[in-house]
Amino acid sequence: QSALTQPPSASGSPGQSVTISCTGTSSDIGGYNYVSWYQQHPGKAPRLMIYEVTKRPSGVPDRFSGSKSGNTASLTVSGLQAEDEADYYCSSYVGVNNYVFGTGTKVTVL
Amino acid sequence: EVQLVESGGDLVQPGGSLRLSCAASGFTFSNYWMNWVRQTPGKGLEWVANINPEGSDNYCPDSVKGRFTISRDNAKNTLYLQMNNLRAEDTAIYFCARFGVVAATDYWGQGTLVTVSS
């Protein structure tokens, strides 16, 4: 199972929005509504931001939103804040209790 | 408070073995699927293995199949990863994580470093 494809980097100024894409195939993203997104600051463990494509765990700001169209999922961060600068990874269920992560995107707040 | 604390990471020679442990607290461990995820230094995340609450079913990708075995002891609230025939490409930080919501991990440990080198 190949890693999902994400852009290496994305950036935006404070208050702006940034959208990160995550491209897979009909065997992963396109086949299931089980896409999740994780935020990771340097030296820290990943933090769950979105699950089941659009759902936010408690404690995650509503500035973070997820969507999916076909084989591509997206994470949008609205109203960018300095603390949003981090690496972001998508993940998808691929069947038979198997999962795959994306290649990761470094978000920079300008 | 949910806590996951990994241990057992070390420097090991190629072909060697290592067992990682993850001590869980703050939740009913026996109710949750658990998994191991690794991260190569400076690179991305890779799912390594998962196991059902009873410990009777487990899954892993082809990259570690036949070499890595996930297990759990619900009486001790502990998750394990037995790693055999280690290769240089297994060098990574290994995280223990809980499947707390559908198809996603809501709590992660801080990780333990495994280095495979001669």
Q: What is d(CA B37, CA B49) in angstroms, rounded to the nearest whole number?
A: 7
Q: A23 and A29 in contact (C-beta within 8 Å)?
A: yes
Q: Which residue of B has its CA nearest to A99?
A: B47
List residues bridging with A98 in a β-sheet.
Answer: A95
Residue A71: strand, helix, or coil: coil
Q: What is d(CA A47, CA A35) in angstroms, rounded to the nearest whole number?
A: 14
Confidence of residue B41 (pLDDT cuts 50, 70, 90): confident
* Residues of B in Cβ contact (< 8 Å) with A44: 110
Q: How much is the mean pLDDT over chain A?
A: 95
What average pLDDT does the segment A10-14 reach? 96
pLDDT for res B34: 96
List residues bridging with A73 in a β-sheet.
Answer: A22, A68
pLDDT for res B25: 97
Q: Does A64 touch chain B (CB under 8 A)?
A: no
pLDDT for res A88: 98
What average pLDDT does the segment B49-72 reach? 95
pLDDT at A100 over 80: yes
Q: What is d(CA B41, CA B89) in angstroms, rounded to the nearest whole number?
A: 11
Q: What is d(CA B7, CA B104) in angstroms, rounded to the nearest whole number?
A: 23
Distance from the Cα of B79 to chain A's closest Cα (Å) equals: 18
Read off the pLDDT of residues A40-94 as tens digits, 9 standing for 90 and up.
Answer: 999 999 999 999 999 999 999 999 999 999 999 999 999 999 999 999 999 999 9
Subunit contact B102:A46, Cβ cutoff 8 A: no
pLDDT for res A1: 77
Q: What is d(CA A100, CA B80) in angstroms, rounded to the nearest whole number?
A: 21
pLDDT at B22 over 90: yes
Which residue is associated with the tokens 């082809």? B62
pLDDT for res A96: 83
Q: Does B110 touch chain A (CB under 8 A)?
A: yes
What average pLDDT does the segment B65-82 reach? 97
What average pLDDT does the segment B63-90 reach? 97
Q: Which of A34, A45, A96 sits opposite B111 (nearest CB)?
A: A45
What average pLDDT does the segment B67-96 reach? 97
pLDDT at B43 over 80: no
Distance from the Cα of B103 to chain A's closest Cα (Å) equals: 6
pLDDT at B102 over 90: no
Q: Record the tokens describing residue A76, joined without a space.
A: 């949008």
pLDDT at B42 over 80: no
CA Rg value for chain A? 13
What average pLDDT does the segment B93-113 reach? 94
* Residues of B in Cβ contact (< 8 Å) with A101: 37, 44-47
What average pLDDT does the segment A17-41 reach? 96
Q: Tell me A51's DSSP state.
A: B
Residue type, B95: F
